[in-house]
Homo-oligomer: A and B are copies of this chain.
Amino acid sequence: MPITVLLVDDEPLVRAGLRAVLETQPDIEVVGEAADGAAVIPLVRRLRPDVVAMDVRMPLMDGIEATRAVLRTVDGPPRILVVTTFENDEYVYEALRAGADGFLLKRARPAEIVHAVRLVAEGESLLFPASVRRLAASYGDGPGNRAARDLLERARLTEREAEVLRLMARGLSNAEIAARLVVGTETVKSHVSGVLAKLGARDRTQAVITAYESGFVSAGRTGT
């Protein structure tokens, strides 16, 4: 019997692409589609797919929430393959922690997409598909990319520093960050200095640029 797949992505074009790619395979069948995480639970209950190809970023309920919800409320849950545009999207790692079984880049080649679906369907985890490595390797050593890659590879930012960087990337001043985190401004300055040093940034603007370029934060979703 074929591998059954449910597609969850807010962009119809991506769904159509995944469907087209997957249905070239006789042993893979796309049994349903959803445009948002909010619609996933009933669909999973009814269709009982082997694999859910889940976008991380969606308007109403994102892939992380949806992953948690499915794993929490459905018996014998499907395998979940997280689909994303960015190779080092922080949300992806959250999704994996939430119980997703693998992740897949949208820019992967068709053969890799098929391979990923087969792998997770077989119960394998797929945390670092070839395309990720290939992509990381394809980065040049330009001044911008070096810092961005370091951010990814070192991942030396402490939890607090990462939190501060996220707030910096939303345009907050040191004083505003201090108020938000309920600490002194001197403390924030400490963390900011740590971030700048670790990212090789001269000022907060460069740090925020690195955050965007590395995918640590990304345009389009100004989170809550």
CB distance from A215 to the nearest CB of B (A): 7
- Most interface-central of A18, A145, A170, A219 (chain B CB within 10 A): A219
Binds B, one of A37-45, A65-73, A118-126, A204-212: A204-212
Binds B, one of A103-111, A153-161, A181-189: A103-111
Indicate with 1 or 0, residue by residue over A13-34, a CB within 8 angstroms of chain B CB atoms: 1111111110000000000000
Q: Which residue of the partner chain, among B13, B109, B113, B144, contacts A170 with CB atoms under 8 Å?
A: B144
B16 touching A20, Cβ below 8 Å: yes
Asked whether any CB of chain B lies closer than 8 Å to the CB of A218, the reply is: yes
Q: Which residue of the partner chain, among B13, B113, B169, B201, contacts A18 with CB atoms under 8 Å?
A: B13
Question: Using Cβ atoms and an 8 Å threshold, which residues of chain B touch A173?
Answer: 202-203
> How many chain A residues touch the partner (CB < 8 A)?
41
Q: Provided the pairs A204-B205, A209-B208, A215-B219 are in contact, do residues A107 and B170 lie with their beta carbons within 8 angstroms?
A: no
Given pairs A13-B110, A16-B110, A19-B20, 13 additional interface contacts (CB within 8 A): A12-B21, A13-B17, A13-B107, A14-B17, A15-B17, A16-B16, A16-B21, A17-B17, A17-B18, A144-B222, A205-B208, A208-B209, A215-B219
